Amino acid sequence: MRIRHALIFRGGIAVCLLLALTAMAQPQRPTANAVPVPAAPQLGAKSYVLMDFHSGELLVEKDANSRVDPASITKVMTGYVVFNELNGGNLALDEVVTVSNKARQAIGSRMFIEASSKVRVEDLIRGMVIQSGNDASIALAEHIAGDEAAFVGLMNHYAVQLGMQNTHFANATGLPDENHYTTARDVAVLSTALIRDFPEYYRWYAEKEFTYNGIRQHNRNMLLWRDPAVDGLKTGHTEAAGYCLAASAMRDGMRLISIVMGAASEEVRANESQALLNYGFRFFETFQLYEAEQELAKARVWKAKEDEVALGLTDNFYVTIPRGRYEELDAQLELTPQLTAPVGQGQVIGELRIHLGQEIVGRRPLVALTEVSQSGFFGRTVDGMRLWFGGLFGGDDDE
């Protein structure tokens, strides 16, 4: 990876001091010669996406933002809300839920809980995740929020919070409703959030079967049997939605998420999901270039008690690129000129851009890693004079 130590100014006097920028340069797998990337698989599903988990890069997409019926893919959000309640201390895995008549009478896929029975939260979660139980989903929703409608309010709250711009939920199960819709892209965003935010609970999505009330049912995700790299996530089917599958797999540290919505059959949705995953793993690779809070540069600060402020990123920075092209990456910085105190911690000071040839494959805001306070009256006056003279004569004393 090439590192370009160049400042690109938006205008004004060049007054920022740039230190050496160093990439982590630690690929997650051995690099090979560049591999030509062929056209992505053309699937028959209504819409689909292939997204890298770490970078968020969409590698393949078709009608990614078109509204579709999510069917039981809905239960990914139902699970997200439940896991938030667990992490917040408002719910416990060994907590006992009393099953209502509404939950017992749920239509569609079920885990076969009985009305007025006492069921542990963990069993209900596994019934929802593995058996896709509508009864389990309603029982959890009622226990957490009082009734399903209130629980749906939580689902829509988190949808907004996660940036699912074209999603609205009307129930916790995925049964058809004109106000119940999502998109392939939004499902990928949600799947990423669930895996990222709740790794300790995500393990349930890899379980192939669950027995409750003497009834053993298999996970409907066929890829769990076909591909050892696949460890989730959720199937869905209604007449309106067709056959849907949100799948995730990890190979050699690279995790991909494939979303297939509106396939023709169970077999087709599995085959098409596998095709997307195989394509992504074969022709792309993902690298972590920088860590959160890693110092990448320093900027000159005027009228400040400290002359410089360290700059970095708020989150780990990953890029997904065609296989074998890591050495072609080029990092560039753009910093705000004439930076004056006070500077707040987290204040955006510039931008880091990663180029692959003429294409920008990643960009992140550079922020101040610490705060910098103003200097005293004398220091501010001296710096003011230096800036004035620098502007007057077209230069500055840091060049």
Domains by residue range for the chain, with CATH: 2-24+291-393 (2.60.410.10), 47-286 (3.40.710.10)
Give the confidence band of 170 by pLDDT, cuts at 50, 70, 90.
Answer: very high
Copy the structure tokens of residue 21: 């920028």
In this predicted structure, what is the pLDDT of residue 17?
33
Residue from 46, 47, 55, 75 carrying the catalytic annotation: 75
What is the per-residue DSSP string for 309-376?
EEEE-SS-EEEEEETT-GGGEEEEEEE-SS-BS-B-TT-EEEEEEEEETTEEEEEEEEEESS-B-B--
Residue from 132, 248, 258, 273 carrying the catalytic annotation: 132
In this predicted structure, what is the pLDDT of residue 2?
53
Strand boundaries in the chain, DSSP class E: 2-7, 47-52, 58-62, 96-98, 118-120, 209-212, 215-218, 230-238, 242-251, 254-263, 284-290, 297-300, 308-312, 317-322, 329-335, 348-356, 359-368
Give the residue among 75, 103, 98 at the shortest CA–CA distance from 204. 75
Whether residue 20 is predicted with pLDDT greater than 70 in this model: the reply is no
In angstroms, rounded to a whole number, what is the distance separating the alpha carbons of residues 40 and 124? Answer: 39
Residue-wise pLDDT for 69-118, tens only, equals 999 999 999 999 999 999 999 999 999 999 999 999 999 999 999 999 99
Instruction: Note whether 349 and 18 are within 8 A (CB).
Output: no
pTM over 0.85: yes
Instruction: Note whether 303 and 375 are within 8 A (CB).
Output: yes
In angstroms, rounded to a whole number, what is the distance separating the alpha carbons of residues 25 and 31? Answer: 12
In this predicted structure, what is the pLDDT of residue 21?
38
Whether residue 9 is predicted with pLDDT greater than 80 in this model: the reply is no
In this predicted structure, what is the pLDDT of residue 26?
44
Q: Is 72 a catalytic residue?
A: yes
Could you tell me how far CA 28 lies from the centroid of its own chain? 19
Rounded to 5°, the CA angle 110-212-122 comes to: 90
- Output the average pLDDT for the chain: 88
Out of 25-29, 188-192, 234-238, 376-380, least confident range: 25-29
Give the confidence band of 307 by pLDDT, cuts at 50, 70, 90.
Answer: confident
Sign of CA dihedral 275, 225, 262, 264: positive
DSSP annotation of 168: B
What are residue 326's phi and psi, to 5 degrees?
-60, -40
Instruction: Note whether 361 and 322 are within 8 A (CB).
Output: no
Q: Is 132 a catalytic residue?
A: yes
Whether residue 390 is predicted with pLDDT greater than 70 in this model: the reply is no
Residue-wise pLDDT for 205-257, tens only, equals 999 999 999 999 999 999 999 999 999 999 999 999 999 999 999 999 999 99
Q: Is 55 a catalytic residue?
A: no
In this predicted structure, what is the pLDDT of residue 78?
98
Residue from 46, 47, 55, 72 carrying the catalytic annotation: 72
In this predicted structure, what is the pLDDT of residue 393?
38
In this predicted structure, what is the pLDDT of residue 218?
96
